[in-house]
Structure formats: C-alpha cells, structure tokens
Amino acid sequence: MDTNWMARGNCATQPPDTFFPSDGVGVEIAKRICEGCPVQEPCLEYALRQRIDHGVWGGCSERQRRRILRARRLATAA
C-alpha cells in the first residue's frame, strides 16, 4: 500500500507521541492538527485498512475508526 502521503501530512513535523494520546484532551489536540491536512483521506483509509487500533489517524480517534469499520461491515452485510 502506498505510504508516500505520510511525508505530506500536517503531522510530519510534529512529535509522533502527539498522535498517540493517553486522554481525550490529547485526542482533541491531535485531531485539530489533522484538520485541513492535505492527506487526511489516504491517512484515514490506511489506518482503516491496516486495522490500526491505536492513535489518531485521518482526523479520527480509535473509537471513531471502530465505528466506521462497524458501519462498513453492516453496509457490506446488508
């Protein structure tokens, strides 16, 4: 899977720990950095396809990604 987009993300110059927060405040800080990121879509899709459980990817928290995956599973099953 293509990962060239990673170098173009808003997070490229941020400490990686920022995107693996331990509380809700940290999640919101990371999500704010993701806002307007030019590669938000491929980033989110990468995390979904790779089933990445931890961290903020594509502007979505772990919980949000689980919801998206669940909705996709339901849509596929329907």
Binding site for ligand SF4 (CB under 6 A): 9-11, 19, 33-34, 37, 39-40, 43, 56-59
Q: Which helix (H) or strand (E) holds 48?
A: helix 40-49
Nearer to ligand SF4, 27 or 37 (CB): 37
* Long-range CB contacts (within 8 A, 24+) of 26-32: 27/56, 27/61, 30/55, 30/56, 31/56, 31/59, 31/60, 31/61
Residue nearest ligand SF4, CB atom distance: 9
Least spacing, CB of residue 35 vs ligand SF4, in Å: 8
Least spacing, CB of residue 42 vs ligand SF4, in Å: 8
Least spacing, CB of residue 76 vs ligand SF4, in Å: 25
* DSSP 8-state symbol, 9: S
